[in-house]
Amino acid sequence: MSDLQELIASVGALRRTLEGRGEKAPRTPPAAENSAEASASVDPSSAIFSRLSNVDPARWLARLRERLPFPVPADVSREVDAFGLDPPYLERARPLLDFLFDRWWRVHVSGLDRVPDSARMLLVANRSGILPYDGLMLAHAVERGHRAQRRPRLLAADKLMSGPFAQPMLRRLGAVRACRENAARLFDEGEWLSLFPEGGRGALKPYRQRYRLQRFECGEILSLALRRRAPIVPVAIVGGEEIHPVALRPEKLERLLGTALPLAPTLLLGPGALVPLPSQWRIRFGSPLEVGDLDPASAEDPLTANRLSERVRAAVGELLEDELERRDSVW
């Protein structure tokens, strides 16, 4: 109580000094009991100014951001799971993913009924396009189409998970760096995983090599799936190669700069090159791989691992060729 009296006294003193200096007195902070008469006596011009001074562009921007139909990096996550998946972020991204899936790429999905309903699973697909849209569309296809309604987590290449910008975004959408330890942990938690064993080699290959499977990396994750008895499901994704067509890989320049330099003709559009081209997509799921003759106990044996990897590669390649023939048009 004495604090309040002190405050009133000091405001009064301030007012007297200001009036003494011939300046306009500051408006007293409207206390609860005299706010009504204070607002009645305010002249209209100062009302406009006081309203203007309440304008807070930061708050407007925040409100605008909340209404956007897609997530932005400035959205701060609340709770995340052990690998950084941010469910509200994913929910916010869903309209955009739905749009890409249904309208932009008109994804045609087949063979999902052959995918079993097991506790853990490894989906293995061909990699295409520079950014990992194929992984996102694959997860979307499984989540929307499969009876288990589970979303496979994307095992992403090191390049994607170590560089700036892509990493936090992909992590919040459920991606995890593709390595043995992470896969083992996720299998233990009973997750479905999607793997693109071609990695960056598949993502950045020039257009004339489109849909030609590159060498498979990540053999140890395939072996791990065998050891944990997770079904390995081959998947073919057709259409991803045309979203960011790479015309040229200038090898000498790349060696000089020490980075990959996929020159796409769309780069002429400037930032517009980030918009993927609207090709027509087909995702086809195969039956789980027959691994009855491979011994899970010796999964880490290089010979077994190699046979497994070759078998997976052949299965994905077969599906891919089959699906390419079925596609009638790129767009």
Partner 1 sequence: MTAARCIAITGLETFEGRGLAERLLEDPSSPRIVALDVRLPSELEGRVGYHPLDLSEAEAGPRLAEVLEKEGCETVVHAAFLPRPTPDRERAHELEVAGSLRVMGAVASAGVSKLVVISTAQVYGARADNPAYLSEEHPLRPPESARALRDRAQVESLLRMFSERHPQIATLSLRPCWVVGPGYESAALCHLSAPRVRLPLGFDPLVQFLHEDDWLDALVLALRRNVRGAFNLAGRGTLPLSTLLRLAGRRVRKLPHPLLSPATSLRWRGRTGEPAAAFYAYLRHGWLVDTARARAELGFRPLYSTREAWLSRFVGQRLRKYA
Is residue 298 at the binding interface for partner 1, with CB under 8 A as the rule?
no
Is residue 218 at the binding interface for partner 1, with CB under 8 A as the rule?
no
Report, in Å, the least distance between residue 89 CB and partner 1: 10
Is residue 3 at the binding interface for partner 1, with CB under 8 A as the rule?
no
Is residue 282 at the binding interface for partner 1, with CB under 8 A as the rule?
no
Stretch that binds partner 1, among 3-11, 98-106, 142-150, 180-188 (CB under 8 A): 180-188
Show the site string, 61-90: x = touches partner 1 by CB under 8 A, - = not. ---------------xxxxx-xxx------
Q: What is the dihedral of CA 157, 160, 166, 170, to 10 degrees?
A: 10
Q: Tell me, what amino acid is at 247?
A: A
| Spatial contact of 182 and 155, defined as CB atoms under 8 Å apart | yes
| Eight-class DSSP state of 267 | G
DSSP secondary structure of 80-104: --TT---HHHHHHHHHHHHHIIIII
Q: SS3 string of 296-313?
A: HHHCCCHHHHHHHHHHHH
Stretch that binds partner 1, among 20-28, 157-165, 221-229, 314-322 (CB under 8 A): 157-165
Residue choice 22, 44, 57, 164 for contact with partner 1 (CB under 8 A): 164
Is residue 181 at the binding interface for partner 1, with CB under 8 A as the rule?
yes
Residue choice 167, 280, 287, 306 for contact with partner 1 (CB under 8 A): 167
Give the interface size with partner 1 as a residue count (CB under 8 A): 24
At 323, list the tokens: 């699906």
Is residue 179 at the binding interface for partner 1, with CB under 8 A as the rule?
yes
Cβ neighbors of 92 (< 8 A, separation 6 or more) are 70, 71, 75
- What is the CB neighbour count within 10 angstroms for residue 294? 18
Residues in contact with partner 1 by the rule CB under 8 A: 76-80, 82-84, 158, 161-165, 167-168, 171, 176-177, 179-182, 185
